[in-house]
Structure 1
Amino acid sequence: MVLIIAVAVAGVAGVAFLVGRARSQPAPPPPKPDPTPRDPFADLTESSGDPTSLKAGDMLEFGTERSWIRGTLRLAEGGSVWAEHFLEIDEGRRWLSVEEDPDVKMALWTGRPELDLTPHSKTIELEGVRYRLTERGTASYRSEGTTGLRAKGGMDYADYEGPGGRLLAFERFDHGKWEPSVGTALTPGSFTIYPAG
């Protein structure tokens, strides 16, 4: 009986010692505030996920429509960089362009190979809409995933804008023929990103 009481007293003393020791340990320092500057007036309705880090395999959800990125072109011209992400669709060719200039600009494009158009004038009328030339240039590209192009090369482009966020663009890869496409500017929150695992 004396032995049991002695063991119990020793156990209580040991617990008291450990608790007292734990209390005497200094508390961990509070987490440091994030030093990254943030815009207090930024639009908080941005797309779920970062559109500037999209890659092949990511899934995009436009309302009830879902699509996967099959491949990406990383393009550069001087100090400007942007990306074109090719989407999985049943028919035709569709892609999402993302550019930081300095704010993020996005547009959803559909290829129009049936159009017999080239970018050789300052204005183009298509299906009752008048587009005006806004930019023309030459860029280098690097291909990721499935794009139908070489691993790297060069491209020429000409961009036109119409009323109501309507866009018309021409691209020519590796000195090939001009490929016209029509697009619509997207606003933040237009889609949700589900990154590939």
Structure 2
Amino acid sequence: MSSSVWLVLAVILVIVAVVFLIISVRKRDEDGIGEQPSTRRDMFQESDGSANFSPSKLGPGAIISYGGIDYVIRGAIRLRQGQYTWHEYLLEGGKGAEWLSVEYDEGQLNLGWWLSRKDLDLEPAQELTVEGTRYRKVESGVGEYTTEGTTGLGERGRYKYWDMAETGGNRLLGLEVYGEDGPTEASLGWKILPGEITVYPAPGN
């Protein structure tokens, strides 16, 4: 068989292969095979104003306006327990060491305003009464932390926490231990809503 005949057969085989490939791809498209699954977006993801409280907006240098006072964020603490993370921000501009906590719990944005109370000598318990308010333990745990800016802590380490809350009320009590043998630090706070705060992002964001 001449070389020209072999060449013609080769061209025919290539054409047949291309036709079968086109038919196969079209059938897969019709059946929906090979299509990338669509990514569904939570329509309510930012309806709670959570975008203003992301770590990309909050950090050293950001300004928070609350209760008619402008506070500057001096430092940030990122707390992690397993896959769960939340943030605390040290504020300057008020009457003392004040903190803003930002966390998500089952998709719900929770904000807390805290005052450090070094004058309180408290130890963890299931129930504590402080200044006439009774608090009950909500949760506790251990984890790791990292810092940014000025916080009074090292760059990273271990911590323990006990979260307590007023039954049926708005008040909060937090006990924290940073480091393996650090003192138990107490803070009193209360829940706030995103709409109560105006955020001016940190420089460069």
Q: TM-score range by the shorter chain?
A: 0.7 to 0.9
Residue 60 of structure 2 corresponds to which residue in structure 1?
56
Pairwise mapping of residues 108-147 of structure 1 onto structure 2 (< 5 A)? 108-119=113-124, 121-147=125-151
TM-score (norm 1): 0.75
- Runs of 4+ with deviation above 4 angstroms: 42-45
Is 1:52–1:99's contact at 8 Å kept on the other side of the alignment?
A: no
For residues 46 and 201 of structure 2, what CA distance do their matches in structure 1 show?
A: 22
What's the CA shift for 1:82?
0.4
Q: Deviations over 1:14-39 (max 9, x none)?
A: xxxxxxxxxxxxxxxxxxxxx87243
Identity %: 37
Gap runs ≥5 in structure 1:
1-34
Gap runs ≥5 in structure 2:
1-38
Pairwise mapping of residues 54-133 of structure 1 onto structure 2 (< 5 A)? 54-89=58-93, 91-101=95-105, 102-119=107-124, 121-133=125-137
Is 1:156–1:172's contact at 8 Å kept on the other side of the alignment?
A: yes
For residues 122 and 137 of structure 1, what CA distance do their matches in structure 2 show?
A: 14
Is 1:58–1:69's contact at 8 Å kept on the other side of the alignment?
A: yes
Is 2:172–2:190's contact at 8 Å kept on the other side of the alignment?
A: yes
Say how many residue pairs are matched.
Answer: 160
RMSD, matched Cα: 1.9
What's the CA shift for 1:164?
2.0
User: Could you say if the C-alpha distance between residues 164 and 43 of structure 1 is closer, same or farther in structure 2, counting changes exceeding 3 Å?
Assistant: farther
For residues 62 and 164 of structure 2, what CA distance do their matches in structure 1 show?
A: 29
Counterpart code for 1:51: F
